[in-house]
Amino acid sequence: MFAYHRGKHFSLLDMASNLFNCFRVKITKQSLHDRFSGKAVTFLKRCLDHIVARKIRYRGDTVLLEGFFNRIRIKDSTKFALPAAFACVYKGYGGACHNSSSMISIQYEYDFLSGQSLDLRLTNGVKNDQSDSADFTHDIQENDLFLRDLGYCTIKFLNMVNSGNAFFVSRLSPQSNIYPDQQSNDSLDARNCLNKLKKHNLEFMEVQAYIGKKERIPVRVVISLADAETYKKRLRKTSKQAKSAGNNVSDHSCFVRWDTQAKTS
């Protein structure tokens, strides 16, 4: 119904007529209204859980995972444009450089161990993943494992996960500062890491380190070489940012990929 050009002016009677015209389903507008209920939402969520559980077929031992983790929380989001009539509820970027004054974002989180949805919300399209991550930290439980895209994982969020005795696996921005210990002011040298990977023909290397300038978070950093396409994309983006700031950029930081894991005791 979101795609319908009349948007918010699409009435219950219109919906009932549409159901009959498209699917030959006869229903009154009152009966249709009664079906927009909490039970309907729960039913759709359970359908989604069932579909996702069938799609994700893990061949390993889930009992072994349950011995280490309380929940394995996988979260991501997607955005798409809506008709302009929805702009008062779902705000878009608008402007000459964007194609919609109305956008919607779907935030979805799934627990791999239980096969149940933990979060399914619709938000404004202009709300980014970092903001959403900062707003929803109330349900961090001990031994949870968070698997999230780079966009969610700010230092503030990772620190809250660490403080809650939980775990995370996340990529780090190439510009992130990674320190060898809690007192050091000098971050790890990406050039040295790059040279070691190339010299010993390694696919990856691991180091125990800390992230965050103020509150140092203990992590295991997995360092690997970025593929050629990613390297070129990063170099273009970083060069553009450096040029606008009047700085120069060295290409070694773009060639290294940083992945972090919460350090286990």
- Nearest by Cα to 142 from 159, 162, 166: 166
- Phi and psi dihedrals of 66, rounded to 5? -65, -20
Which residue in the block uniquely carries the two structure tokens 């970083």? 238
Residue 43: helix, strand or coil by DSSP? helix
From the list 15, 142, 131, 25, the residue with the least C-alpha distance to 73 is: 142
Q: Distance between CA atoms of 165 and 144, rounded to whole angstroms?
A: 8
Q: Which residues make beta-bridge pairs with 112?
A: none
Query: Closest by alpha carbon to 106, among 116, 117, 120, 94?
Result: 120
**Cα 261 from Cα 185, distance rounded (Å):** 22
Distance between CA atoms of residues 17 and 11, nearest Å: 10
Q: Class for domain 60-169, per CATH?
A: alpha beta
Q: Strand 144-148 vs strand 71-81: parallel, antiparallel, or unpaired?
A: parallel
User: How do beta strands 178-179 and 204-211 pair?
Assistant: antiparallel
CA distances 22 to 6, 15, 16, 26, 246, Å, are 17, 10, 10, 11, 59
Full-model pTM: 0.78
> What are the boundaries of each domain within the chain?
60-169, 173-265
> Could you read off the pLDDT of 105-143 as tens digits, one per residue?
999 999 999 989 999 999 988 999 988 888 888 899 999
Q: What are the pLDDT tens digits along the chain (265 aa)? A: 445 556 567 788 988 998 999 999 999 999 999 998 999 989 998 999 999 888 887 888 888 999 999 999 999 999 988 888 888 888 888 764 456 788 999 999 999 999 899 999 999 889 999 888 888 888 999 999 999 988 888 888 999 999 999 999 988 876 678 899 988 888 888 888 888 988 999 988 998 999 988 888 999 999 888 777 877 776 777 667 666 666 655 555 545 566 666 654 4
Indicate the average pLDDT of the chain: 83
Q: Residue 217 CB: number of other CB atoms within 10 A?
A: 20
